[in-house]
């Protein structure tokens, strides 16, 4: 078979049933995906047939542009092919009381032994003892690592991670069902020993796997562009902690490349992060932890300028699509990225059970955790049962989050140290705590908020902002708070508050914020303070109108048109027996009389510092004229994310 460069969409076949030497043809396929990856050239399609492939695929080449890609796809009409970063382990011997022992040769791991590799890195805070990147799986379920062999032999309920209250309010979180120590490993010169407490299970009669590879689909080199990965189950990789200052290696990832499409996959059991759109290695890798000479913030800031010096722009990296995947049961993130995810689309994914085990904790955990989400579109994702649903951090200029549904998370969304414009519209935030707002310049339009929120300035971290739709740095600024827009949302109150300074509704803006940019400028210019201090002394404007408030949610006094009610609308997300999800709630007739209009670019203005309009990534005006379900809005739209809501009881299908 010729390996010359051709754009005739050559097909290369791979089959787990191959026992001989294949040539990649349909009649004589390769035995491993890597064999196909070694020869694939732009225009080729690698067709992977059903079966389990225990390998780490390193795509050697990428495509040329969006129309000439290299595709890795599941064979049609067959079961999903499975790529695993694990190996099956047999030969366990019983030590009694549910404890079993096995010794495996280190040759099983090659150059990367997860059990000899610590879980470490910037902003990883708990636990205080050193965990490894290894995992043990019993019938597909990851067990808990133990600090000592004695902990395995005498299992007791695991501790509760004591993170900062406003970040990790563990006292309000129920423990997972199975919270005892379950395995411990000891790495010797030639072997790795593992002790595991399988309770009443005989591991030699069950499927017991251990992770052996760092990733399952990840290029060793950067700049491997225009790859498609479609239709696989991808699982059980020993990928490392992925802070924004570190080499963000995921179970699958683009590794500082451009134009990947990751779609229609079942991705699960990453030790840390499932899908990486993030940063590659740099000399300052994890410098906060390694050196400690400066705050991590400073190293991260340096990383932005280092990336710019090395060609960080739209032509080099980003513009990925992550869609229609099920991403679940990972320790740190479902999707992670810093700098490398610019101009990407993350849509129609089902993300759940991220940090559900609560086995370790740090400041970089989320169903989606994105830094530098410049012109990123996060839309129509279903995110639940996560420590934090989505965390948007630094440089989210041009971000749009639309049509997402959050529920049963500890917190739904955090947006931090970014100056806008960012548009958050048509979302449902149904957890007990919805928003940690440590940013400014964000527009919240037609959302449903069912929990508490937090509003906080960040006056000691000056972060970059950019020229419109570009990575070119225009300046840096601190986060004064405010400069937000809150139009035509529904807020549901209640008794639960995440912290003493949380609030429900928009009452948190009743703290001296000015009503307009004109009033802000007038007060600043009338001040006798110096150039910088006079701006520090005046709260930025906020723009709030047309919202509906239930069950005691508070309204900002600056708001003119609103609907206030003490009634409980009994809003909830319901899962039916067929797996469908529904929004239920009871809304009063007066809510539908609030003056509203279709909101768009020209209604939202421009954030004060950045000056870029709230617009589409291509610079054209946008308009919020469709709801979460795709229905068109009327001339006087309904508050909240569902246009079809009506007075009385409602039941609307979401997924």
Q: How far is CA 494 from the centre of its chain?
A: 28
CA distances from 14 to 48, 53, 172, 265, 491 (A): 5, 10, 49, 18, 53
Residue showing tokens 């795509």: 59
pLDDT higher at 155 or 305: 305
Q: Are 332 and 353 in contact (CB under 8 A)?
A: no
Residue 260 lies in a domain: no
98: domain CATH number is 2.60.40.1180
Domain limit, last residue, from 166, 186, 211:
211
What tokens were used for 564? 């206030």
Residue showing tokens 């509760």: 160
In this prediction, residue 163 carries a pLDDT of 42
In the chain, DSSP finds a helix count (H) and a strand count (E) of 7, 49
Q: Above 50 in pLDDT, residue 184? A: yes
Residue 27 lies in a domain: yes
Pairing, β 581-587 against β 572-575? antiparallel
Nearest-angstrom CA–CA distance, 303 and 308: 9
* Same domain membership, residue 152 and residue 93: yes
Q: What is the pLDDT of residues 488-505, one digit of tens each?
A: 999 999 888 888 889 999
Q: Are 16 and 51 in contact (CB under 8 A)?
A: yes
* Same domain membership, residue 65 and residue 24: yes
Residue 63 lies in a domain: yes
Q: What is the pLDDT of residues 447-494, one digit of tens each?
A: 999 999 999 999 999 999 999 999 999 999 999 999 999 999 999 998
Element (H, E) at 72: strand 70-74
DSSP state, 204? G
Q: Which domain holds residue 207?
A: 87-211
Nearest-angstrom CA–CA distance, 182 and 632: 52
DSSP letters of 442-480?
EEEES-EE-SEEEE--EEEEEEEEESTTSS-EEEEEEE-
CA contacts within 13 A on the Cβ side of 447 = 30
The count of other CB atoms within 10 Å of the CB of residue 25 is: 12
- The closest of 359, 424, 349, 417 to 387, measured between CA atoms, is 359
In whole numbers, what is the pLDDT of the chain averaged over residues?
94
* Same domain membership, residue 107 and residue 18: no
Phi-psi region of 456 (alpha: psi -120 to 50; beta: other; left: phi over 0): beta
In this prediction, residue 284 carries a pLDDT of 86
Listed in order, strand segments (DSSP E) in 452-611 are 452-455, 458-466, 473-479, 485-487, 490-492, 543-545, 547-550, 562-564, 572-575, 581-587
* Same domain membership, residue 41 and residue 19: yes
Q: Between vectors from CA 321 to CA 319 and to CA 324, what angle results, nearest 5°?
A: 170
Domain limit, last residue, from 145, 178, 211:
211
* Same domain membership, residue 207 and residue 93: yes
> Any bridge partners for residue 428, and if so which?
405, 448
- Number of structural domains (the chain) is 2
The count of other CB atoms within 10 Å of the CB of residue 621 is: 11
Residue 125 lies in a domain: yes
Q: What is the pLDDT of residues 196-251, one digit of tens each?
A: 999 999 999 999 999 999 999 999 999 999 999 999 999 999 999 999 999 999 99
What tokens were used for 208? 């017991």
Q: What is the pLDDT of residues 23-53, one digit of tens each?
A: 999 999 999 999 999 999 999 999 999 999 9
pLDDT higher at 415 or 171: 415
Element (H, E) at 361: strand 361-362
* Same domain membership, residue 33 and residue 133: no
Residue 38 lies in a domain: yes
Q: How far is CA 448 from the centre of its chain?
A: 21
* Same domain membership, residue 202 and residue 101: yes
* Same domain membership, residue 182 and residue 91: yes
Q: Are 551 and 492 in contact (CB under 8 A)?
A: yes
Average pLDDT over residues 603-621: 98
Q: What is the pLDDT of residues 129-180, one digit of tens each?
A: 899 999 999 999 999 999 999 989 987 765 545 443 334 333 333 444 455 7
Residue 218 lies in a domain: no
What tokens were used for 319? 């513009």
Helix H, strand E, coil C: the string for 395-442 is CCCCEEEECCEEECCCEEEEEECCCCCEEEECCEECCCEEEEEECECE
Q: Which residues contact 538 (CB under 8 A, 6 or more apart)?
A: 514, 520, 523, 524, 527
Domain limit, last residue, from 170, 193, 211:
211
Average pLDDT over residues 407-422: 97
* Same domain membership, residue 180 and residue 67: no
The count of other CB atoms within 10 Å of the CB of residue 178 is: 12
CA distances from 396 to 282, 309, 417, 424, 466 (A): 22, 20, 9, 12, 10
Residue 481 lies in a domain: no
pLDDT band at 420 (very low <50, low <70, confident <90, very high): very high
In this prediction, residue 166 carries a pLDDT of 36
Q: Are 413 and 605 in contact (CB under 8 A)?
A: no
Residue 205 CB burial class (10 angstroms; 0-12, 13-18, ≥19)? exposed
Q: Between vectors from CA 486 to CA 485 and to CA 488, what angle results, nearest 5°?
A: 135
What tokens were used for 514? 């000015």
In this prediction, residue 128 carries a pLDDT of 85
pTM over 0.85: yes
Listed in order, strand segments (DSSP E) in 174-265 are 183-187, 191-197, 208-211, 227-230, 233-237, 252-253, 261-263
* Same domain membership, residue 204 and residue 127: yes
Q: Which residues contact 36 (CB under 8 A, 6 or more apart)?
A: 12, 13, 14, 24, 30, 46, 72
In this prediction, residue 159 carries a pLDDT of 52
Residue showing tokens 């990733």: 215
Nearest-angstrom CA–CA distance, 433 and 436: 8
Nearest-angstrom CA–CA distance, 51 and 28: 16
CA contacts within 13 A on the Cβ side of 552 = 8
Cα-only R_g, the chain: 26
* Same domain membership, residue 119 and residue 204: yes
Q: What is the pLDDT of residues 539-551, one digit of tens each?
A: 999 999 999 999 9
* Same domain membership, residue 158 and residue 135: yes
Residue 370 lies in a domain: no
What tokens were used for 164? 């900062």
Helix runs in 475-630, H state only: 517-526, 533-536, 601-604
Pairing, β 366-371 against β 333-338? parallel
The count of other CB atoms within 10 Å of the CB of residue 325 is: 28
What tokens were used for 448? 């449903």
The count of other CB atoms within 10 Å of the CB of residue 161 is: 18
């Amino acid at each position: 078979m010729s390996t010359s460069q051709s754009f005739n969409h050559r097909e290369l076949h791979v089959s787990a049933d191959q026992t001989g030497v294949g040539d990649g043809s349909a009649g004589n396929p390769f035995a491993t995906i890597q064999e196909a990856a070694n020869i694939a050239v732009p225009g080729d399609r690698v067709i992977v047939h059903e079966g389990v492939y225990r390998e780490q695929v390193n795509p050697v080449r990428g495509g040329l542009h969006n129309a000439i890609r290299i595709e890795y796809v599941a064979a049609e009409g067959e079961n999903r092919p499975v790529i695993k970063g694990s190996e099956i382990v047999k030969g366990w011997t019983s030590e009694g009381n549910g404890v079993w022992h096995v010794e495996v040769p280190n040759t099983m791991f090659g150059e990367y032994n997860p059990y000899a590799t610590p879980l470490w890195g910037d902003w990883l805070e708990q636990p205080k003892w050193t965990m490894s990147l290894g995992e043990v799986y019993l019938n597909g379920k990851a067990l808990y690592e133990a600090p000592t062999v004695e902990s395995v032999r005498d299992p007791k309920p695991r501790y509760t991670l004591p993170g900062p209250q406003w970040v990790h309010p563990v006292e309000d979180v129920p423990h997972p069902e199975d919270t005892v120590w379950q395995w411990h490993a000891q790495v010797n010169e030639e072997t790795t020993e593992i002790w595991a407490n399988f309770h009443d299970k005989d591991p030699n009669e069950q499927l017991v796997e251990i992770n052996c590879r760092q990733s399952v689909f990840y290029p060793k080199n950067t700049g491997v562009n225009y790859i498609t990965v479609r239709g696989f189950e991808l699982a059980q990789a020993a990928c490392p902690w992925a802070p924004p200052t570190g080499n963000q290696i995921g179970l699958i990832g683009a590794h500082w490349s451009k134009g990947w499409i990751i779609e229609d996959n079942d991705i699960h059991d990453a030790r840390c992060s499932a899908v990486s759109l993030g940063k590659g290695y740099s000399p300052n890798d994890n410098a906060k932890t390694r050196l400690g000479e400066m705050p991590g913030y400073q190293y991260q800031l340096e990383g932005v300028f280092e990336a710019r010096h090395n060609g960080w722009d739209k032509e080099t990296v980003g513009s990925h699509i992550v869609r229609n995947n099920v991403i679940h049961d990972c320790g740190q993130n479902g999707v992670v990225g810093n700098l490398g995810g610019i101009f990407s689309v993350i849509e129609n994914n089902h993300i759940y059970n991220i940090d559900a085990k609560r086995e370790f904790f740090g400041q970089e955990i989320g169903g989606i955790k994105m830094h530098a989400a410049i012109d990123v579109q996060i839309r129509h994702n279903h995110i639940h049962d996560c420590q934090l649903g989505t965390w948007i951090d630094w440089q989210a200029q041009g971000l749009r989050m639309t049509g997402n549904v959050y529920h049963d998370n500890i917190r739904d969304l955090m947006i931090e140290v970014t100056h806008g414009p960012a548009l958050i519209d048509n979302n449902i935030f149904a957890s007990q705590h919805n928003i940690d707002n440590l940013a400014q310049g964000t527009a919240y339009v037609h959302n449903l908020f069912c929990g508490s929120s937090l509003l906080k300035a960040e006056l000691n971290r000056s972060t970059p902002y950019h020229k419109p739709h570009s990575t070119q740095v225009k300046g840096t600024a601190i986060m004064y708070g405010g400069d937000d827009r809150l139009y035509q949302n529904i807020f549901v109150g209640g008794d639960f508050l995440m912290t003493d300074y949380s609030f429900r509704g928009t009452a948190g803006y009743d703290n001296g914020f000015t009503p307009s940019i004109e009033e802000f400028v007038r007060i600043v210019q009338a001040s006798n303070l110096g150039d910088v201090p006079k701006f520090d002394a005046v709260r930025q404007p906020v723009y709030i109108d047309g919202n509906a408030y239930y069950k005691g949610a508070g309204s900002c006094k600056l708001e003119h048109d609103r609907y206030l009610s003490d009634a409980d609308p009994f809003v909830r997300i319901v899962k039916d027996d067929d797996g469908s999800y529904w929004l239920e709630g009871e809304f009063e007739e007066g809510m539908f009389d609030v003056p509203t209009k279709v909101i768009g670019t020209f209604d939202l203005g421009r954030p004060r510092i950045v000056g870029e309009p709230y617009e589409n990534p291509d610079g054209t005006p946008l308009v919020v004229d469709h709801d979460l379900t795709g229905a068109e809005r009327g001339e006087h739209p309904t508050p909240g994310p569902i246009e079809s809501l009506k007075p009385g009881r409602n039941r609307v299908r979401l997924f």
